[in-house]
Amino acid sequence: MNKVSLSEYAKHRGVAKSRISYLLKEGRLKKSAQREGRRVWIDPEIADRELEKNLDARWVHKKRVSAQEKKRAIEKAGVGGLDRHALTTLLIQYKVANEKFAYEVNQGKWILKDEVFEKTAKILLAVKTRLLGVVPGVTGEFWERIGKDEADRLLKTVEQKIIEALQELSGLEI
């Protein structure tokens, strides 16, 4: 059993020494605490298990962050030279820009990517349908002007060229 002082355990948990004293008085650390005169020794492993069992979420404190960890987080975020006021101003500007964008999307000033793809697909489908409808639409007229056999041969060639063009277009990345 590795026992530590009240202060060391408070540091381990990232809370004030008074918080650990309070928990001892409440009886939440009965099994892990041992008194020797006025000194209190705590087994950290047992105390951690006791606290996990006996504490509700409002008593759990976040671990304190060291100055070095704060500095790394600031550098990573790219806001190193900014004071609190400047950061607050940036946050407000971001929120305003975000709200403005949402408003403009609702007003139809911006088209979302999914809507662009949907509209493009509808247009391409209409083009395909119209192109494939060309051959049947002119078949009767061709039969009258150049004869049935010649018209069929010519229209099959046109239809094949239309199908090839559509296949080529369908393979393009948009």
DSSP string covering 21-43? HHHHHHTTTTTTEEEETTEEEE-
In this prediction, residue 174 carries a pLDDT of 45
The torsion angles phi and psi of 4, rounded to 5 degrees, stand at -130, 165
Residue partners of 61: CB distance under 8 A and separation at least 6:
13, 14, 15, 19
Token pair 């391409």: residue:
124
Q: How many domains does the chain have?
A: 3
Assess whether 94 and 118 both reside in one domain: no
Residue range of the domain that includes 90: 67-106
Which residues of the chain, if any, have pLDDT below 50? 57, 174
What is the per-residue pLDDT across 131-142, written as a single tens digit (0 to 9) for each? 777 777 777 777
How far apart are alpha carbons 70 and 73 in whole angstroms?
5
Model confidence, pTM: 0.34
Do residues 55 and 102 share a domain? no
Q: What's the pLDDT at 96?
A: 92
At 111 the three-state DSSP class reads coil
The 10s digit of each residue's pLDDT in 6-18 is 889 888 888 888 8
Same domain, 120 and 153: yes
What's residue 134's pLDDT?
74
Residue 136 CA, chain-centre distance (Å), reads 51
Same domain, 10 and 45: yes
